[in-house]
Amino acid sequence: MAINYKCSVGRLALCAASVAVMPAAAMAQADAPPPAQDQSAADQVTSEPIVVIGTLIRGIAPAGNNVIDMSAEQIAATGAATTSQVLSSIPQVGNFFNGLPAGVSQQPGANGSNPINRPNLRSLPGANTSGGAQTLVLFDGQRVVGAGIQQVAVDPDIIAPGVIQRVEAMTDGGSAVYGSDALGGVINFVSRDRFDGVQMDARYGIGDDFQSVEASGMAGKDWGSGGFYVAYGYSHHDSVFGADRDWVKQVDWNTGVPTGRNCAAPNVTIGTTSYVPSGGGITAGGPNSCDFSDPVAIYPTTTLHTVFARLNQRLSGGVRFDVTALYANRSIEQIGGTLGTGALGTGAAGQATLTASSPFYRPTGDANDGLPQVVRYDYSPLFGTASSTQNTDLETWRVAPSISVELGSDWEFSGLFSYGLATTSFSNAQISAAAQSAALAGGTLNPYDVAATAPSVASGLLRYNKGTGRNELFDYRAIVNGPLFELPGGTLRAAAGYEHMQDNFNRRSTNASTYLLQDPTSYTQKVDSVFGELSIPIVGDENAMSFINELTLSASARYDKYNDFGDTFNPKFAATLRPVEWIAIRGNWGKSFTAPSPVDQLGVMASAVATVPAAFLRTPPGVTAAPGEIGLFVSGTAPGIQPQKATNWSVGAEIEPPFLPGLTLNASYYNIDLTGTIGRPVTGADLSDYYANFPQLYSVRPSGQELAAYLTQFDPANFNFTVANPTSTGQAIITSGGTNSPVLVSLDTRARNLGTAKLDGLDFSANYVLDTRFASFDASVTGNYRLSQKSRALPSLPVADDLAFNTPVFRIQGTLGTRIGGLRAQVIWNHTSGYKRGTVEFGQTRVSAFDAINLFFKYDVKSKSAWGSDLSFTLNVQNLFDVSPPEFRSAAGLGFDTTQGSAFSIGRIVQFGVSKKF
């Protein structure tokens, strides 16, 4: 029988409430209830059987699994413009919840490596995995092509929220059914099956220094035995800059003075004496300061176009044909600040050493006259304040035809072919270190007056680091499922299938010295898989007994053979027990994995070494940078990468007490044991954890011999310097652009199998619905509490408590709503807990919790006129009280925590919407 998530009239308010954690095994296996009287036929779910996430067998709910379900009404209540923002309403999606996912990393320059903002169920460590993701994202239960350059993952935003019928998130491991990537769970976006008519939607949002526009249209025809519809979506929002929010700042928190010294007004040092320009000379004093965070776009401009189409038709002989197609184009315009500040990803810092022979040397009028002057400046007078432009474009299209055939005796065959192509490109403005050195040496760049630079010289200084990634996915899948024989408790059902996937990845980028595009590199990964599942009803309606109303077992397994690293086998066992009808107890155990992706395999040869001014690196404990020292930053993938694996198990219960109708209580305990986690050993600008956990991956002041030997493992085209003293046992000195710099520290941050992690936690929810003669009222609370997470970065290192510092452990959402006639009103509370800081800066030992209150109102016009029927108006208020993100004090930060999983908001946003169906 069909599993249908449409809600009855009595539970309509509950469907519009917040996310409820439901055990799929406890779902009633019954036909859908009749639709509400004011629903149109186009909005009803068809009678086609629905495959629920976590199972291959149609018409049943998977035993023992914990599934989060989010309805179309809940999606509308979020006010989300993108699918990523929809996921920010689910506490278990730890890196999105109570935030505002922007589509790219908030770390400047990261669009060249990690252009996709990937959901991370369970907040698993290694979320910045170089290749594959740890949470599998599906559309209609099918794999989707990933996008990226140094990292590849499914972009959730390629499907517009208006097309989605519901969102399902299985928070248990899913590799026994789906294969790779389902370590923390699976997120499935289910599209509308049918639509009849024409619908137009528009929303306009406004906040302080912010505007957003969204529009969508859908047209379709339902002819009973089939249907077709096509939908278009558009969204656009402005950038929000650091200067637009007073809580964004890069300052000395003791004095309030900005820490920036590469400013439009130069700073000069001679020895330990500071000077500032004065007339035609310089005078002791200063320094001139500037806030580097002011021109940084903390929320970048994004424009998104999506097209989605679906055709299905039931043919004679029990044959059903279905095909979906989508196209998406997303453009992100990020500003990383001002060129010349030396921020990561912006190229060379504006710094020059002038001797008395330089035509630009300025007199001091004191005893230091004639001594070398170190001038620090930025390029805002020449290229503008917001000159570190970082543009990203993502284009995806996919077509997926499928067919299902009834074979008789309730058996069915389903076949799927899908083809997807995703192209990602980035272009980041940078200052060429070589061109800057040449211009300074040649006297064509005056550090005291960069605005006077000749256009021909300026064009050589301003270069663009560019790259493209092209990912092509072929997926062929065939499944048969149906009943095997009768047991006392019901019908034993089975499914078996085969899948073949081929992933062709191609990447190309400019080099770090001449900014010329390098030869493209490519990799093809193939995998053949066989899988099966059994649903075993031990106790059911026919043989129920005292305190055992139901006992259903499930067993599934999958074997995957890859053409590169080898094979893997992943089983899963689950059970649902109902001692009485209104209590369901569930549990499951299984193994999951994430395979090294084509990007991982390419990353070995593409590993690169970049130079970073030591002033912009957090130095190792006890190490102080000397003037002129530089850091080396190694990126890419370490050789010998292997799959990361997990053993998952969970137990939980759902209670619907008959003595209090309308109340549903839910709780689950989960436990995950990860090994061989693939990821980079750094997650942001704060290197404290890196220095503490990976002493073997960095070297302080390596000798010339040591550095020269270390660099032999890299392609010389992937770094833009030479070792000036390759035979010396003294401190290594590198030459780049004619400038010699001693090496302070070399940091190897390549992705690799890092170690192990064990984590556990609790999911919980409570939902209550009260129907009265004049209105319906509902309340709900759902959340996630992380009990522990212990990790060992390498077998030789001690176990670390990952939750002790720098990590929120508690996330909760509460809602209170009502429906009175055509009016739906709802208030939503999102809470992210505070946390202790691992490194105390400026006296801050703890970061505060973050609470946001959102409002949603919808009014359905009740009218029989042509323009009044099927007309509704909405009002969303996000962050009603305009609460700022928690203060995060850091000399190099932006005043708030930019790491994944920390709460974020750009302030109060008010959205007005209108929807009309014809």
**Interval 838-863: pLDDT, tens:** 889 999 999 999 999 999 999 999 88
Q: Using an 8 Å Cβ cutoff, are 557 and 497 in contact? A: no
Model pTM score: 0.86
Q: Which of 223-227, 317-321, 602-606 has the lowest mean pLDDT?
A: 602-606
Q: Which is nearest to 765 in space by CA: 650, 654, 853?
A: 654
**How much is the pLDDT for 170?**
92
Separation of CA 729 from chain center: 44
Average confidence (pLDDT) over 43-60: 63
Q: Using an 8 Å Cβ cutoff, are 301 and 332 in contact? A: yes
Per-residue 3-state assignment (H helix, E strand, C coil) for 531-543: EEEEEEEEECCCC
Q: Using an 8 Å Cβ cutoff, are 402 and 323 in contact? A: yes
Average pLDDT value for the chain: 88
Tokens linked to 238: 């402005």
Give Dmax over CA atoms of the chain in angstroms. Answer: 102
Q: Which of 54-58, 650-654, 911-915 has the lowest mean pLDDT?
A: 54-58
Q: Which is nearest to 917 in space by CA: 863, 882, 869, 857?
A: 869
Average confidence (pLDDT) over 481-510: 95
pLDDT of 409-466, one tens digit each? Answer: 999 999 999 999 999 999 999 999 889 999 999 999 999 999 999 999 999 999 999 9
Q: How confident is the model at residue 48 (pLDDT cuts 50, 70, 90)?
A: very low
Q: How confident is the model at residue 51 (pLDDT cuts 50, 70, 90)?
A: low
Between these two residues, 720 and 237, which has the higher pLDDT value?
237
Separation of CA 38 from chain center: 38
pLDDT of 288-297, one tens digit each? Answer: 999 999 999 9
**How much is the pLDDT for 15?**
33
**Alpha-carbon distance 558 to 179, whole Å?**
7
Query: Which of 21-30, 124-133, 598-607 is most confident?
Result: 598-607
Q: Which of 497-506, 574-583, 732-741 has the lowest mean pLDDT?
A: 732-741
Between these two residues, 358 and 22, which has the higher pLDDT value?
358
If you ran DSSP here, which 8-state letter would residue 189 be given?
E
Q: Which of 22-31, 84-93, 656-665 has the lowest mean pLDDT?
A: 22-31
Q: Report CA-CA distances (Å) from 249 to 344, 386, 590, 875.
A: 17, 16, 46, 32
If you ran DSSP here, which 8-state letter would residue 507 be given?
E
Query: Given a cut of 60, is residue 902 above it in pLDDT?
Result: yes
% the chain with pLDDT above 70:
92
Q: How confident is the model at residue 678 (pLDDT cuts 50, 70, 90)?
A: confident
Query: Given a cut of 90, is residue 483 above it in pLDDT?
Result: yes
**Alpha-carbon distance 680 to 827, whole Å?**
39
pLDDT of 81-112, one tens digit each? Answer: 888 888 888 999 988 899 887 766 666 667 76
**How much is the pLDDT for 106?**
60
Query: Given a cut of 70, is residue 36 above it in pLDDT?
Result: no
pLDDT of 619-660, one tens digit each? Answer: 888 898 888 899 998 988 888 888 999 999 999 999 999 999
Query: Given a cut of 60, is residue 390 above it in pLDDT?
Result: yes
Q: Using an 8 Å Cβ cutoff, are 805 and 835 in contact? A: yes
* Number of other residues whose CB lies within 10 A of the CB of residue 892: 16
Query: Given a cut of 90, is residue 899 above it in pLDDT?
Result: no
pLDDT of 179-209, one tens digit each? Answer: 999 988 999 999 999 999 999 999 999 999 9
Tokens linked to 701: 């002041």
**Alpha-carbon distance 342 to 68, whole Å?**
44
**Alpha-carbon distance 425 to 390, whole Å?**
11
Q: How confident is the model at residue 41 (pLDDT cuts 50, 70, 90)?
A: very low
% the chain with pLDDT above 90:
67
pLDDT of 797-840, one tens digit each? Answer: 788 899 999 999 999 999 999 999 999 999 999 999 999 998 89
Tokens linked to 459: 């064009």
Between these two residues, 718 and 177, which has the higher pLDDT value?
177
Tokens linked to 765: 């929810």
Query: Given a cut of 80, is residue 684 above it in pLDDT?
Result: no
